[in-house]
Chain A
């Protein structure tokens, strides 16, 4: 039964195998790789990409694409740090700053969704354009990197909640949110929209609403990602997250979600994001000269994608 449902699921397996290979490679290159503190540090590094990839999954499942999520991350970051600084940096200020950041993410997603689903613009061109707009806004809000966040913010992020590291709590919440969405009719309908839009329309599915929701989710997860990155960098940076959108799309595709839409899921994207992150750390610990790292990373992602595609086509 499951054997018949080919397509995405095989790419997913390839990615899982790639993940294991990378784990072994990392364990060899980095002798303390499996120590809990190192595991936590690695998972912390990958978390922003994981979150963006989860959000991107919904957009891609619905047959669209969101190139603007990197810019959303930057805009969320500068708005959050600016709000916190303007309100004096106490606990209330941090809470309001976080809410403002989430609001920015949702708002940006809503704008993308309304332009694309409402005015029927091309998603790839539209989100490219809105990414420039969002980046411009970020530079306008905070022209230069700086403006540190209060200590409790990054201490909480690096610390723990009820004895569990905060990063793991965030992972757990993200997984629960993804699982919640996966169990709703929303997911089936979104796949229908991405899989065969005319069929979804003739069945009476509200295509516009679903596409907008997917972009809002992408913006929301983009905001979450930004707030995590802020916890790591502890300051504002209008150029933050520039490579995130493309890395997240790679992660989604590696995770078995078809770029054409209709097939896939968020869990695969998490695996994909880990693979993309691990490729980076393998290259780093292999001691490759800095100037080759990006090139090699690109080639490995390309090879992993090709592997998935070849297995799927078989």
Chain B
């Protein structure tokens, strides 16, 4: 049978950088196709070319066997290719129905908006996903009032209303928790049963094998491998992604017993949807916060850092009271915080790499002027130590890939080394190579005496990295896993426990 989409020999250069070098991609009708590769391999560029948001230098795209003209998103859409935006195309102030038909409103004979038709057609769309829609998901509901997974669903319906043959999902699951990912996968399967194909980009290997029918792997702008998911395994895929040189940090946990050296005491802290929670952590320990998303992990981390101070309770580090009322308090006690939401919590957009690294030291050392030479030397060393790939300290932060940006943001906190490092889903949306560097860094800091507390939306990350896991459920710690109990089974069981 004719593939629904075939992109062949697509090349594209941005200035001197060759982003795509005769890349190819073939998607069959009604299949879920995973597109994998390290960050910067060109998979996003390829998708944007197919969706018409970026032009190509050479090559062609055929839809249902016919060469397609893909000059603009609208043209691509008319030919059945839709790009799924990560919540970016929803207007929170408008209703679900208004959003779905924005710009293509059905009209009455007099040219007025046909609200009845919007209502009717939106209801029909919602009926297709009724099993996963959840409470309050009506055509009139405002998008601002929806839960994150319902917003994602609204976004999908908006795409579906355009009756596409192929939908491209670029890291659609990056901001979702496990339950939401399941819902999302149910939708993909539903689409598949209707004969609609999906191209699915993800950094999470578990997800790819859970959902994909076929897998295309890209590396350095080229398509290097195509697999049927059922006939391969993750090692083969990872090998194709990184080539022979890549070192994937499968597990950097060493099993040397921890000294019984308690340094962090968290005593009955409370926040809006958290606690009271008490626990201790040792010097050199990597302590994970597990559980479903939104069970208080982020509240705990931002409370420890003073970004959203605890309502009650005390925190002490090395016997000193470090209960923070604001981030500057925490920083004064060598507490560092790195968020996975780089755009919101970390980046000084438009500023240089140097300024983005120096900022924390300015605050901590109470400086008003950046000591150029001193800081430059200091941070160049730190960044190089993290394998950061950057053109120069004065290049804008936006010129770096997600993984390299995250290395810049963590390097803020590394000189002097932190006593307590708080990591809030730090590897979200960054490539496997950078993840590996990150794991090694966390372990190195712990070995040098830091205490690391990490929350991750990926179970496998927590299980491979942490010495001990606290599982949170409904704002309370429901399990404390270490040693032999540090298994996916125990974690899942505690995550989905009674309180949920």
Contacts and interface: CB of A to CB of B under 8 A. Distances in A.
Given A188-B113, A191-B94, A195-B93, A203 B142 contact: no
A163 interface: no
Given A192-B102, A202-B85, A203-B102, A185 B92 contact: no
A196 interface: yes
A196 B138 contact: no
Given A200-B91, A204-B74, A262-B91, A4 B145 contact: yes
Interface in A104-127: none
A196 B99 CA distance: 11
Nearest to B100: A203
B6 to A, nearest CB: 26
A184 interface: yes
A196 B92 contact: yes
Nearest to B90: A199
Contacts of A202: 73, 85, 88-89
Interface in B64-123: 73-74, 85, 88-95, 98, 102-103, 105, 107, 111-113
B99 to A, nearest CB: 8
Contacts of A7: 93, 144
Contact of A199 (B91, B140, B141): B91
A151 B89 CA distance: 56
A165 B107 CA distance: 35
Contacts of A195: 91-94
Contacts of B88: 198-199, 202
Given A5-B142, A198-B88, A205-B103, A188 B112 contact: no
Contacts of B144: 7
Contacts of B142: 4-5
A198 B85 CA distance: 11
A302 B351 CA distance: 38
B105 A188 contact: yes
Interface in A136-178: none
A189 B396 CA distance: 35
Contacts of B95: 5
Contacts of B85: 202
Given A192-B94, A262-B93, A200 B102 contact: yes
Contacts of A4: 136, 141-142, 145
Interface in A201-216: 202-205
B319 to A, nearest CB: 41
A14 to B, nearest CB: 19
A205 B94 CA distance: 14
Nearest to A187: B113
Contacts of B136: 4
B78 to A, nearest CB: 11
Interface string A60-104: 000000000000000000000000000000000000000000000
Interface string A1-42: 100111100000000000000000000000000000000000
Given A4-B142, A192-B102, A185 B90 contact: no
Contacts of A6: 145
Contact of A183 (B92, B98, B103, B113): B113
Contacts of A5: 95, 140, 142, 145
A202 B52 CA distance: 12
B73 A204 contact: yes
A1 B90 contact: no
Contacts of A192: 91, 94, 98, 102
B138 A1 contact: yes
Contact of A184 (B91, B111, B138, B141): B111
Contacts of A200: 91, 102-103
A244 interface: no
Contact of A203 (B89, B93, B140, B145): B89
Nearest to A2: B140
A263 interface: yes
Nearest to B158: A203
B145 A183 contact: no
Nearest to A1: B140
Nearest to A186: B113
B74 A196 contact: no
Nearest to B110: A183
Nearest to A261: B93
B388 to A, nearest CB: 29
Contacts of B98: 188, 192
Nearest to B142: A5
Given A185-B105, A185-B107, A202-B85, A191 B91 contact: yes
Contacts of A185: 105, 107, 113
A257 to B, nearest CB: 11
Interface string A240-284: 000000000000000000100011000000000000000000000
B147 to A, nearest CB: 13
Interface in B315-354: none
Given A1-B140, A4-B142, A188-B113, A204 B103 contact: yes
A199 B112 contact: no
Interface string B379-401: 00000000000000000000000
A258 B93 CA distance: 10
A145 to B, nearest CB: 44
B145 to A, nearest CB: 5
Which of A4, A189, A199 counts the most B-chain CB atoms under 10 A from its CB? A199
25 contacts: A4-B141, A4-B142, A4-B145, A5-B142, A5-B145, A183-B112, A183-B113, A185-B113, A188-B102, A189-B102, A189-B103, A191-B93, A191-B94, A195-B91, A195-B93, A195-B94, A199-B89, A199-B91, A202-B88, A202-B89, A203-B89, A204-B74, A204-B103, A205-B102, A262-B94
Given A199-B90, A199-B91, A205-B103, 11 more contacts: A1-B138, A1-B140, A4-B142, A188-B98, A192-B98, A195-B93, A196-B92, A202-B85, A203-B102, A204-B103, A262-B91
Interface of A: 1, 4-7, 183-185, 187-189, 191-192, 194-196, 198-200, 202-205, 258, 262-263
